[in-house]
């Protein structure tokens, strides 16, 4: 698991520093205000009795920098709990995890139980002591260094209690974190307030060719962290823009932390999803199979003070893309009736990153129903999850959400919804100059020499006669040219005859 990330220096004073404490950098004041605004919302939701600063006491002091090159401090790594009370779990919850692990394995060392639950051994030890006193476990072997090296087995009573635990919930894995801790971490690593300036945004989009002015529209949207409505004809880069924003957040927003699972209302919800979240702490994680020579080092790591909380994974800011397959059910908790625990919906897994609803208006669910589902989260930055018992709990809605459509927006949304989407960006068809640049880039990427005559043919035969060019046409046409050349066993080249043949196949009327 990752070592705690040292907080980077907050941004220095700007030329127009806002009101703040005497001598305090304007960037730090600005960050604290953003955190306080978010925290006010969460305080009302979760009835918190205190406010915690986004940066721990004793962190690295601010280093003045040019405001134009401010960077946002990396979110603080969660610190491992030192006691049972600090981990946010009850003694019975820890005991249930131990019982289920031993039930599946038959026997395990104390260090293994701590490693599999991602908790320090002194937290697990409280559960081991209780279970031993209750005669649910027994020690079959052990070294002289203490219970961390003892081998534990279930007794008959312990096996009976383990089966009862499995009936209630079959989740076995890293211990969940309290909902309050998840809320606090989301607040620290929210997209809102991410520093953004033209140079950094241009760097994230340097591999894309887009019309002038698009970045000037995207920049304020990123700075606000609010929703974006992208519309225009198909094939002109709306999805690529969303991915470009994801790259920007990865480079400028820093890495973030997500828990394996959270618990609320005595229920467990899994959050970390390796198909969505790209972990950056694999080199730091403990191996799933502990080699004999690694035992001593691993034990010391589980026992060290101020260690990172292994129940969290360090990841790149996620980019979640969904299209026509999106349904309302996918925006709710997914309950496993056999295992008796939940999986977080897509937009919760996207917290701290980008959530793109592509091909908006082509989903199975009607646009009106989908929009009604999003009105409250877009306005309040929170969402409510409903458990199988009917109980509800609030979770942060902290991602840059993008609605992308190639349909007429006036036929999809009403004024009430458009008001809640702060930024509307039109992505139209490229002009000839921009299209030429895209075509040349597509040729370079495929090591195909560019031929102006082939491009002139496309315009004379198609684009000048009313067919609008699309930014994706060069890629698609060149792929057809490549396939034709491979089939004929000839060198790939961009000739007028080949582009005419490819265009005839690609632009044919059906």
Give me the CATH number covering residue 169. Answer: 1.10.10.10
Look at residues 132, 86, 88 and name the one whose alpha carbon lies nearest to residue 110.
132
Q: Is residue 427 within 8 Å of 228, Cβ to Cβ?
A: no
Q: pLDDT tier at 4 (50, 70, 90 boundaries)?
A: very low
The more confidently predicted of residues 225 and 77 is 77
The residue with tokens 């919930």 is 169
Q: What is the CATH number of the domain that holds 477?
A: 1.10.8
The pLDDT of residue 10 is above 50:
no
Asked if the structure places residue 141 within a domain, the reply is: yes
Distance between start and end Cα atoms, the chain: 55
Look at residues 226, 343, 213 and name the one whose alpha carbon lies nearest to residue 273.
343
Boundary residue ending a domain (175, 202, 227): 175
112 token code pair:
């293994």
Asked if the structure places residue 137 within a domain, the reply is: yes
Write out pLDDT tens, residues 156-169.
999 999 999 999 99
Look at residues 27, 93, 100, 97 and name the one whose alpha carbon lies nearest to residue 65.
27
Question: What is the overall mean pLDDT for the chain?
Answer: 79
Q: Is residue 469 within 8 Å of 442, Cβ to Cβ?
A: no
Boundary residue ending a domain (144, 175, 206): 175
Look at residues 192, 502, 2 and name the one whose alpha carbon lies nearest to residue 493.
502
- If one counts the domains in the chain, the total is 2
Pick the range with the lowest mean pLDDT from 172-186, 231-245, 324-338: 231-245
Asked if the structure places residue 51 within a domain, the reply is: no
How far apart (Å, rounded) are the C-alpha atoms in residues 134 and 410?
Answer: 67
Q: What is the pLDDT of residue 74?
A: 61
Asked if the structure places residue 496 within a domain, the reply is: yes
| Full domain range(s) for residue 483 | 432-506
How far apart (Å, rounded) are the C-alpha atoms in residues 357 and 242?
Answer: 10
Average pLDDT over residues 32-54: 40
DSSP type of residue 279: B
How far apart (Å, rounded) are the C-alpha atoms in residues 370 and 404?
Answer: 14
The more confidently predicted of residues 254 and 120 is 120
Q: pLDDT tier at 509 (50, 70, 90 boundaries)?
A: low
Which residues are paired to 256 by β-bridges?
315
How far apart (Å, rounded) are the C-alpha atoms in residues 230 and 271?
Answer: 28
Contacts of 425 (CB under 8 A, 6+ apart): 214, 217, 218, 221, 228, 229, 230, 231
Average pLDDT over residues 284-288: 49
Boundary residue ending a domain (158, 175, 192): 175
Q: What is the pLDDT of residue 442?
A: 92
Q: What is the pLDDT of residue 305?
A: 53
Q: What is the DSSP string of 484-496?
A: HHHHTT------H
Asked if the structure places residue 102 within a domain, the reply is: yes
How far apart (Å, rounded) are the C-alpha atoms in residues 112 and 110?
Answer: 5
The more confidently predicted of residues 402 and 312 is 312
Share of the chain above pLDDT 70, in %: 79
Asked if the structure places residue 60 within a domain, the reply is: no
Asked if the structure places residue 487 within a domain, the reply is: yes
Q: What is the pLDDT of residue 449?
A: 93
Asked if the structure places residue 111 within a domain, the reply is: yes
The pLDDT of residue 207 is above 90:
no
Q: What is the pLDDT of residue 422?
A: 78
Average pLDDT over residues 412-433: 81
The more confidently predicted of residues 510 and 388 is 388
């Amino acid at each position: 698991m990752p070592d705690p990330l040292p907080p980077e220096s907050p941004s220095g004073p700007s030329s127009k520093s806002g009101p703040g404490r005497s001598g305090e950098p304007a960037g730090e004041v600005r960050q604290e205000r953003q955190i306080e605004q978010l925290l006010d919302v969460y305080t009302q939701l979760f009835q918190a009795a205190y406010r915690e600063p986004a940066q721990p006491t004793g962190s690295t002091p601010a280093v003045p920098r040019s405001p134009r090159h401010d960077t946002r401090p990396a979110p603080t790594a969660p610190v491992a709990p030192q006691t049972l009370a600090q981990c946010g779990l009850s003694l019975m919850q820890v005991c249930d995890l131990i019982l289920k692990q031993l039930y599946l394995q038959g026997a395990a060392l104390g260090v293994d139980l701590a490693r599999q639950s991602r908790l320090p051994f002194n937290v697990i030890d409280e559960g081991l002591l209780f279970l031993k006193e209750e005669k649910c476990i027994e020690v079959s072997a052990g070294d002289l260094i203490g219970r961390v090296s003892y081998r534990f087995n279930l007794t008959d009573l312990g096996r009976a209690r383990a089966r009862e635990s499995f009936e209630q919930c079959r989740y076995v894995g890293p211990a969940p974190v309290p909902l309050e801790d998840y809320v606090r971490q989301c607040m620290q690593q929210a997209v809102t307030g991410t520093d953004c300036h033209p140079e950094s945004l241009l760097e994230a989009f340097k591999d894309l060719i887009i019309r002038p002015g698009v970045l000037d529209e995207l920049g304020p949207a990123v700075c606000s962290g609010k929703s974006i409505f992208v519309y225009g004809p198909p094939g002109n880069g709306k999805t690529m823009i969303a991915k470009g924003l994801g790259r920007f957040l990865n480079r400028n927003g820093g890495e973030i932390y997500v828990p394996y699972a959270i618990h609320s209302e005595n229920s467990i919800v899994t959050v970390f999803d390796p198909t969505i979240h790209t972990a950056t702490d694999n080199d730091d994680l403990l191996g799933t199979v502990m080699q004999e020579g690694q035992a001593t080092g691993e034990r010391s790591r589980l026992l060290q003070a101020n260690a990172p909380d292994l129940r969290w994974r360090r990841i790149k800011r996620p980019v979640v893309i969904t299209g026509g397959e999106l349904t309302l059910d996918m925006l709710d908790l997914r309950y496993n009736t056999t295992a008796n625990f939940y999986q977080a919906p897509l937009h919760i897994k996207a917290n701290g990153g980008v959530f793109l609803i592509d091909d908006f208006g082509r989903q199975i669910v009607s646009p009106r129903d989908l929009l009604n589902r999003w009105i409250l989260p877009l306005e309040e930055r929170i969402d409510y999850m409903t458990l199988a018992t009917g109980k509800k709990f609030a979770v942060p809605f902290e991602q840059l959400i993008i609605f992308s459509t190639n349909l007429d927006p006036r036929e999809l949304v009403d004024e009430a919804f458009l008001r809640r989407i702060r930024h509307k960006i039109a992505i139209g068809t490229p002009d000839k100059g921009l299209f030429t640049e895209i075509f040349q880039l597509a040729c370079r990427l495929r090591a195909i020499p560019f031929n102006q005559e082939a491009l002139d043919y496309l315009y004379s035969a198609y684009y000048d006669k009313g067919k609008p060019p699309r930014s994706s046409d060069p890629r698609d046409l060149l792929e057809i040219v490549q396939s034709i050349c491979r089939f004929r066993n000839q060198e790939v080249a961009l000739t007028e005859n080949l582009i005419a043949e490819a265009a005839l196949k690609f632009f044919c009327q059906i």
